[in-house]
Amino acid sequence: MTLSQLSWLALIGLSLSLVSPHLAQANSRDAVLKLTPEICITSLDNQACEIDIELHWTLAKNELVCILSDNIAYPKWCSDSVLTNTLQMKIHTSTDIEFIMVSKDSNQTLASAKLKITSAAQPQVRRRYRNPWSLF
């Protein structure tokens, strides 16, 4: 990992640790972050998912927000206007991504949403050659 990647992870960890669970729970009633779609289905295990997503949010009061993710490929994005309430992104990943919406002024967590990656491939199961009722 490079120094910039480590500093980005440290920033996310610090911002999450500064917000107490009680405050995050109280604000989660006031702010909603909606991810569309919420699931990406791949045809094979460990295959990357390529998808266009949309994050849409509503807030109890108008304020500037930033969107963080736990995937280093998608850097912090901050709104420039209180009228902005949608973000569209092209995603290419093979792991789940959690998006966190924070207040731009206070860095307080407002809401979160998670993109889940799942495979449609059937698990490889070895078939028993003998029937379970067979005596020999």
Mean pLDDT by groups of 10 residues along the chain of 136 residues: 54 50 48 93 82 94 93 91 93 92 93 90 66 64
The answer to whether residues 98 and 83 touch, using CB atoms and an 8 Å cutoff, is no
Quickly count: other Cβ atoms within 10 Å of residue 64's Cβ. 13
> DSSP 3-state assignment of 4?
helix
The pLDDT assigned to 30 comes to 82
Q: Where are the domains of the chain?
A: 3-119
Q: Which fold has domain 3-119?
A: Immunoglobulin-like (2.60.40)
Query: What does the angle CA 115 – CA 74 – CA 91 come to, to the nearest 5 degrees?
Result: 50
Pull the structure tokens for residue 25.
């729970």
Q: What is the dihedral of CA 8, 99, 107, 1, to 10 degrees?
A: -10
The pLDDT assigned to 24 comes to 43
- Sorted by sequence, the CB contacts under 8 Å of residue 52 that are 6+ apart come out as 88, 89, 90, 91
